[in-house]
């Protein structure tokens, strides 16, 4: 299991893999196909009659334990994560916005988009349990652990093909209201999950290592294809970004504008409910198993977990303490449904301030749930037509406060949600995004 933890730590060091993807540019004054990824109703506000998206990508890592100084030292990263109080949460995810096109026709806006997603998460992991299972050590002085939280290590990849439409519902000299919808065809690639609910047990330090006895928990073990044998090979994620068509989802949105001079506005307010849906994993190499973990007076030696690199090895290491299995070869996984709310206010000429809120609609504790997080951000921006610069300042439930910087030059954009806090304040988040699109007519 140490390899699993080291994978997350390694990705954290790269200024790539984030949850609040494309922060700042998705609420740009230059409305384009990226704005529609935040809210499909924005297609009615396209700056150009046609827009082509070539490629955009966003990577982000967020955690609640270690910062850049820990990573720079490079030693005993797993000890830095688990030698602390409180549950460990860790997100590593990437969005790839692949070629797409958007266009306006009369009072309508349309788009066809493609995207790929990679996400791995550690959710509310008890650090003492992690220290015992992953490091084969036990820093916590209390030998008995009772954890009522649902703890998870999970990973997922999937692709999307989206069809969007937006309609201008009402417009007069001062006001404009638009609504929109995106229907997504989902192509599940890979999925893996280890979940433990209501864990309790006694840990003992022996002359040969750590043993666990008098323990019980509800355990879920799910995996597809290559992730059964290895959780730590990045190629297992990138090679399976698009699977077969096996799911659908939808985004619903609306926006209101208090109009200003010309094509500008004094105020824009938007709301969107995103990722309403699920995808199904099925096949001979897919399994979702619910077990009851029962360890009596005969202890479980935890040495075998330290070297485990895949879920199948972890499952085998628990044998024969897993009982009453419920096995499925076909299982559904819910997308991370979120509610997006935002308001863009014109302060003075060329200067706007955007308020953004992301509220997750489902609990991350479900073993069939891809995780998300709650986010609030404030983004002042200077818009000079061809050039735009912005400074997103946000708070999220995993890594805390972040401050970034970004700019747009025509259709090219580059930015980070956390570069300023990463450099000045040992931030627990690292991210980066860039891309290019162009509009005409």
- Report the SS3 class of residue 274: strand
- CA atoms 360, 162, 16, 12: torsion sign: positive
Give the span between the Cα atoms of 200 and 197, in whole angstroms.
Answer: 9
Of the candidates 110, 185, 151, the one whose C-alpha atom is nearest the C-alpha of residue 335 is 185
Mean pLDDT of 28-49: 91
Find residue 246's DSSP bridge partners: none
Residue 17: per-residue pLDDT: 32
Give the span between the Cα atoms of 253 and 251, in whole angstroms.
Answer: 7
Query: Two tokens at 10?
Result: 């390694």
Indicate if the pLDDT at residue 176 is higher than 70.
yes
Question: When comparing pLDDT for 255 and 59, which is higher?
Answer: 255
User: Are β-strands 286-295 and 351-360 bridged in parallel, bridged antiparallel, or unpaired?
Assistant: unpaired
Q: Is 275 left (phi over 0), alpha (psi -120 to 50) or beta?
A: left
Residue 4: per-residue pLDDT: 47
| Whole-number percent of the chain with pLDDT over 70 | 84
Of the candidates 352, 431, 321, the one whose C-alpha atom is nearest the C-alpha of residue 95 is 431
Indicate if the pLDDT at residue 18 is higher than 50.
no
Indicate if the pLDDT at residue 1 is higher than 70.
no
- CA atoms 59, 65, 71, 74: torsion sign: negative
Give the span between the Cα atoms of 310 and 313, in whole angstroms.
Answer: 5
Find residue 259's DSSP bridge partners: 265
Q: Measured in whole angstroms, how far is the alpha carbon of residue 366 from the centre of its chain?
A: 15
Estimate the share of the chain in helix, then strand, then coil, as percent rounded to the nearest 5. Answer: 15, 55, 30
Mean pLDDT of 188-192: 88
Per-residue b or e along 8-32, where b marks 16 or more CB atoms closer than 10 Å to that residue's CB? bbebbeebbbbbbbbbbbbbbbbbb
CA atoms within 13 A on the CB side of 198: 7
Residue 238: per-residue pLDDT: 56
| C-beta contacts of 31-36 below 8 A and 24+ residues apart | 32/102, 32/411, 32/437, 32/439, 33/100, 33/101, 33/102, 33/111, 33/113, 33/437, 34/97, 34/435, 34/437, 36/102, 36/109, 36/111, 36/113, 36/164, 36/166, 36/180, 36/182
Instruction: Report phi then psi at 285, rounded to 5.
Output: -100, 15
List C-alpha distances in Å: 326 to 18, 72, 156, 219, 314. 34, 44, 22, 11, 17
Give the span between the Cα atoms of 258 and 239, in whole angstroms.
Answer: 46
Residue 68: per-residue pLDDT: 61
Of the candidates 25, 9, 16, the one whose C-alpha atom is nearest the C-alpha of residue 414 is 25
Residue 12: per-residue pLDDT: 37
- Residue labelled with tokens 């990437």: 94
Mean pLDDT of 239-268: 88
* Mean pLDDT for all residues in the chain: 83
Indicate if the pLDDT at residue 224 is higher than 50.
yes
Query: Two tokens at 389?
Result: 């610069």
Mean pLDDT of 112-117: 94
Q: Evaluate whether 326 touches 287 at the Cβ level (below 8 Å).
A: no
How do residues 164-173 score in pLDDT, each as one tens digit? 999 999 999 8
Q: Evaluate whether 196 touches 212 at the Cβ level (below 8 Å).
A: no
How do residues 304-348 score in pLDDT, each as one tens digit? 787 777 777 888 888 888 888 888 888 999 999 999 999 999 999
Indicate if the pLDDT at residue 102 is higher than 90.
yes
Residue 64: per-residue pLDDT: 77
Neighbours of 424 (CB within 10 A): 9
Residue 9: per-residue pLDDT: 44
Residue 101: per-residue pLDDT: 95
Mean pLDDT of 421-440: 82
Residue 232: band (very low, low, confident or very high) from pLDDT cuts 50, 70, 90: low
Residue 14: per-residue pLDDT: 34
Indicate if the pLDDT at residue 255 is higher than 90.
yes
Residue 148: band (very low, low, confident or very high) from pLDDT cuts 50, 70, 90: low
Find residue 269's DSSP bridge partners: 256, 343
Indicate if the pLDDT at residue 235 is higher than 70.
no
Q: Lowest mean pLDDT: which of 23-27, 229-233, 251-255? A: 229-233
Question: When comparing pLDDT for 426 and 234, which is higher?
Answer: 426
Report which secondary-structure segment, H or E, holds 149: none
Residue 429: per-residue pLDDT: 80
How do residues 336-381 score in pLDDT, each as one tens digit? 999 999 999 999 988 999 999 999 998 888 888 998 889 999 999 9
- No. of H helices and E strands in the chain? 9, 22
- Report the SS3 class of residue 308: coil
Give the span between the Cα atoms of 387 and 395, in whole angstroms.
Answer: 27
């Amino acid at each position: 299991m140490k390899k699993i933890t080291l994978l997350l730590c390694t990705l954290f060091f790269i200024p790539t893999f984030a949850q609040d993807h494309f922060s700042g540019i998705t609420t740009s004054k230059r409305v384009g196909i990226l704005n529609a990824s935040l809210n499909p109703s924005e297609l009615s506000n396209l700056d150009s009659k046609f827009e082509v998206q070539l490629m955009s990508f966003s990577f982000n890592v967020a955690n609640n334990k270690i910062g850049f100084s820990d990573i720079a030292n490079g030693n005993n990263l797993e000890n830095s994560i688990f030698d602390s109080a409180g549950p460990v949460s860790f997100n590593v995810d990437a969005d790839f916005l692949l070629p797409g096109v958007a266009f306006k026709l009369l009072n309508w806006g349309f788009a066809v988009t493609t995207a790929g997603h990679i996400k791995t998460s550690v959710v509310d992991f008890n650090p003492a349990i992690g220290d015992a299972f992953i490091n084969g050590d036990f820093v916590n002085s209390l030998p008995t652990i009772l954890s009522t939280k649902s703890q998870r290590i999970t990973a997922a990849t999937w692709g999307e093909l989206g069809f969007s439409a937006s309609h201008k519902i009402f417009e007069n000299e001062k006001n404009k209201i638009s609504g929109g919808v995106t229907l997504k065809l989902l192509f599940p690639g890979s999925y893996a999950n280890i979940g433990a609910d209501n864990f309790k047990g006694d840990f003992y330090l022996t002359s040969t290592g750590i043993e666990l006895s008098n323990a019980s928990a509800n355990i879920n073990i799910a995996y597809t294809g290559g992730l059964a044998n290895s959780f730590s090979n990045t190629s297992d994620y990138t090679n399976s970004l698009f699977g077969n068509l096996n799911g659908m989802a939808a985004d619903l949105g609306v926006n209101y504008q208090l109009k200003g001079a010309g094509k500008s506005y004094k105020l824009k307010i938007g709301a969107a409910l995103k990722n309403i849906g699920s995808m199904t994993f099925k096949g001979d190499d897919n399994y979702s198993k619910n077990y009851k973990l029962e360890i009596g007076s005969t202890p479980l030696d935890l040495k075998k977990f330290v070297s485990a690199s895949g879920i199948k090895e972890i499952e085998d290491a628990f044998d024969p303490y897993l009982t009453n299995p419920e096995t499925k070869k076909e299982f559904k996984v819910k997308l991370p449904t979120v509610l997006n709310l935002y308001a863009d206010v014109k302060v003075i000429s060329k200067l706007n301030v955007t308020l953004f809120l992301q509220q997750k609609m489902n609990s991350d504790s479900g073993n069939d749930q891809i995780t998300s997080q709650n986010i609030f951000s404030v983004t002042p921006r200077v818009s000079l037509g061809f050039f735009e610069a912005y400074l997103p300042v946000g708070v999220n439930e995993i890594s805390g406060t972040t401050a970034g910087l970004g700019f747009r030059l025509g259709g090219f954009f580059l930015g980070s949600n956390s570069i300023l806090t990463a450099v000045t304040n040992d931030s627990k988040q690292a991210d980066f995004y860039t891309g290019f699109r162009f509009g005409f007519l």
